[in-house]
A and B are shown apart, each in its own frame.
Chain A
Amino acid sequence: MTVTHPEVFHLLAFLPVVVLVLVLNYRAGCKDTTRLIGSLHETTVRNLFLIKSFFGGLSFVAFYVLLVASLAGISWGLTTVREDRSGLDVVFAVDVSLSMLVEDAQPSRLARSGDLMRAVVQDLDGARFGVVAFTGSATRLLPLTEDNAAIESTLNLMGPELLSTPGTDLERALTTALASFPADSDRHRAVVVFSDGEAHSGDETGPAREAAERGIGVFTVTVGTPEGGPVSLRDGGRAFDRDGNPVHSRAEPARMRRIAEIAGGVHLDASEAGVFSRLPDALSEFEGRRDSEGFRTVPVERYGFFLGWALVMLAIHVLVRSLRWRRWF
């Protein structure tokens, strides 16, 4: 079972307020009945009022919870979608912010990423490649092409001088990468993100979900270690923050892993052994798996189930109040 929009569950925080309103209404209602009918039939009326209030309130609370559940995008089970595609398009989204120059990966985070990309280009024959560079902004450096000479010269170009915007914005990186795939292509599509995951702005879960919906695999590679290292400036000197402390950059694999999880890709750590074969293997497996089957599986979202029951609860809520139950009971 997966939840696509877990943030919706925050709406449940209002549930106590709803219950409180219902309870206050009930207590005020009790007073009113006494005032209206005196103490003559008090117990019968009170009991009836309690029962009606209880079931009316309960059904409304159930309605509230079920509707929130239907909004949360809960899914279980799998269904298949026909997908006749062959060949592979890969867009590399490469973080070129200053923190990528930290040398906690060998020889540096950025150089390590470059080596990994070369390994992928060499191993995946017949694939087309494109390159997006990003910091706080993102730009398409190389459109999807088979031209190996152009790919090689683009990879040699990668450096923090490419983009002047500071920061790291994985959302823009993914959005730009997703826009690099032509709509009328019949190839499988994958994005490979290289970053330390230390993002400063943007919410990358949105484009990751979009990728999942469109059947685009997003693979993430964390370069750098959680221990991290000091950030150097372009001229070789150390970077200092406003208080005069040296800037230290730590990789955040959790963030990178989450992107891959949402988009149905694989997360890799650039420093693990065998990563140079694991990344190309993961990509060709992605292509091969879909090729052989001719369809892909997607989770079935079950909002209808929750929404249906929510409407039943709402109907009960209305009927509890509107029917004169005493006629039957």
Chain B
Amino acid sequence: MFEGGRNVWVLEQPVALLLLAFVPLVMYLRHGAPNRGGRLRFPISVWGGRHFVPRVWSVAFLYRLSILAFWLGVVICIVALSSPARVYRERINLTRGMDIVFVLDESPTMAAMDFAPYSRFEAAKRIIRRFVRGRENDAIGLVSFARDAALRVPPTVDHQHLLKELDQLSIMELGDGTAIGLGIALGALHLQSSSAEQRVLVLLTDGKNNVAEILPGVAARVARDLGVRVHTVGIGSPGEIPIEFTDPHTGRSYRGIVTDAYEADALRDLAEITGGNFFEAASLGSLEAIFQTLDTVETVERRARVEVRTESLSRHFIFLGFMLIIFDFVTRRVLLRERL
């Protein structure tokens, strides 16, 4: 949506409003003209005093209400004739953005609390969310890994869906371990059929590879051959970090101290093989800075146009006008027993 989805109301045929000029004339002919028809004149009155007027309050009220409803109905019908419509402006992207897949570590150590007030995992999720919001035109996917790796969202421009899935991600759903190679290979595989010119994979991890199925170096070379650039982000600060998390399978809570850290050299190598960059995030602030860098490093030219879509509102007006005029008809012809 353009400008946050604001929309305006317009009249597509304002000329029809000229008909409103005739309304007072017809109103005069019906209610004010001295010689108008459809009524009786009583010659009974006190000389010089008041004329004969109906004294029944409810009848007079109903009569006036029905007149009001009738003319309001007529005015609304004339407005309907001028085609009221709501106009939406939508920005349409004309260029193909890039494809980005986040490969996020969800091993138990990601629960370490060195990104106060968040854990490493929560901090990573928050930063990814903010990044996604700024990349409207890019297809973004999500792979998570621990002992195993799984595709959570394929590269898509449906960011709403992506953010929903990201929210639902939790630690240790894929076991205890750090299968960096598997994660990269899976992410690269899902970028294989992409038609984007730029394909980027962003790995976020706080540990070293300890699953031997696919070695990270091999996976990085596979990614390079598929034309995928891999950026690696090492998460965590050195030293003893308190940790607390719940195993989603057993429901048991764990507490302890983490001293493990990622291998900076290994992650730097992975990035270099594919032409990407390696970043170290020791705090929330540095993680934010890294994503800002990524945002400026990975750009493609972007063109867009504004498309205007109108939604006619005439039916609502016609319906309302119709109801008011029918109300007048029923009131006068049935309740007040007017004859003509």
Chain A residues near B (Cβ < 8 Å): 5, 18, 21-22, 25-26, 28-29, 32, 36, 49, 52-53, 56, 60, 63, 67, 70-71, 73, 84, 126, 130, 140, 142-151, 153, 180, 182-186, 213-214, 301, 303-304, 307-308, 310-311, 314-315, 318-319, 321-325, 327
Contact B340–A184 (Cβ < 8 Å): no
The answer to whether B167 has its CB under 8 Å from any CB of chain A is: no
Set of chain A residues within 8 Å of B80, measured between Cβ atoms: 303, 307
Output the least CB separation between B140 and chain A (Å). 10
Contact B81–A311 (Cβ < 8 Å): yes
Output the least CB separation between B327 and chain A (Å). 13
Chain B residues near A (Cβ < 8 Å): 1, 13, 16, 19, 22, 26, 29-30, 33, 35-38, 40, 74, 77-78, 80-81, 83, 90-94, 136-137, 139, 141, 151, 153-158, 161-162, 189-195, 304-305, 309, 311-312, 314-315, 318-319, 322, 325, 329, 333-334, 337-340
Give the residue name and chain of the B residue nearest to A301 (CB).
Answer: B312
Give the residue name and chain of the B residue nearest to A26 (CB).
Answer: B339
Complex CA–CA separation, A325 to B37 (angstroms): 8
Highest count of chain B CB atoms <10 Å: which of A146, A323, A325 = A146
Complex CA–CA separation, A230 to B157 (angstroms): 41
Set of chain B residues within 8 Å of A304, measured between Cβ atoms: 13, 16, 81, 83, 314
Highest count of chain B CB atoms <10 Å: which of A67, A145, A182, A186 = A145
| Given A145-B139, A321-B37: A140 touches B161 (CB 8 Å cut-off) | yes
Give the residue name and chain of the A residue nearest to B196 (CB).
Answer: A146
Task: Please list 14 pairs of residues, one from A and one from B, whose beta carbons are closer than 8 Å in the complex, sorted by A's number.
Answer: A21-B334, A25-B339, A145-B155, A146-B194, A147-B192, A149-B189, A149-B190, A182-B157, A184-B136, A303-B80, A311-B77, A318-B26, A318-B30, A319-B26
Contact A145–B314 (Cβ < 8 Å): no
Contact B78–A311 (Cβ < 8 Å): yes
| Given A145-B155, A184-B137, A213-B311: A324 touches B192 (CB 8 Å cut-off) | no
Complex CA–CA separation, A116 to B8 (angstroms): 43
Give the residue name and chain of the B residue nearest to A304 (CB).
Answer: B81
| Given A73-B315, A126-B195, A310-B77: A144 touches B189 (CB 8 Å cut-off) | no
Contact B340–A146 (Cβ < 8 Å): no
Query: Which 9 A-B residue pairings sit nearest by Cβ, starting from the closest?
Result: A29-B339, A143-B158, A150-B154, A147-B154, A143-B156, A145-B154, A143-B161, A148-B193, A322-B30
Contact A321–B161 (Cβ < 8 Å): no
* Cβ contact of B318, chosen from A36, A63, A70, A314, cutoff 8 A: A70
Set of chain B residues within 8 Å of A70, measured between Cβ atoms: 318
Set of chain B residues within 8 Å of A67, measured between Cβ atoms: 77, 318, 322
Give the residue name and chain of the A residue nearest to B81 (CB).
Answer: A307
Contact B157–A144 (Cβ < 8 Å): yes
Give the residue name and chain of the A residue nearest to B74 (CB).
Answer: A314
Set of chain B residues within 8 Å of A36, measured between Cβ atoms: 40
Contact B78–A322 (Cβ < 8 Å): no
Give the residue name and chain of the B residue nearest to A129 (CB).
Answer: B154
Output the least CB separation between A21 and chain B (Å). 5
Set of chain B residues within 8 Å of A327, measured between Cβ atoms: 35
Output the least CB separation between A293 and chain B (Å). 17
Contact A303–B318 (Cβ < 8 Å): yes
Set of chain B residues within 8 Å of A311, measured between Cβ atoms: 19, 74, 77-78, 81
Contact B29–A318 (Cβ < 8 Å): yes
Contact B158–A323 (Cβ < 8 Å): no
Set of chain A residues within 8 Å of B156, measured between Cβ atoms: 130, 143-145
Complex CA–CA separation, A73 to B315 (angstroms): 8
Contact A25–B338 (Cβ < 8 Å): yes
Contact A150–B151 (Cβ < 8 Å): yes
Give the residue name and chain of the A residue nearest to B191 (CB).
Answer: A147
Complex CA–CA separation, A130 to B158 (angstroms): 10
| Given A143-B154, A324-B36: A184 touches B333 (CB 8 Å cut-off) | no
> 6 new A-B pairs (CB below 8 Å) besides A147-B155, A185-B93?
A140-B161, A142-B154, A143-B154, A182-B158, A184-B304, A308-B81
Give the residue name and chain of the A residue nearest to B314 (CB).
Answer: A303
Complex CA–CA separation, A5 to B137 (angstroms): 38
Complex CA–CA separation, A142 to B155 (angstroms): 10
Set of chain B residues within 8 Å of A73, measured between Cβ atoms: 315
Set of chain B residues within 8 Å of A60, measured between Cβ atoms: 329
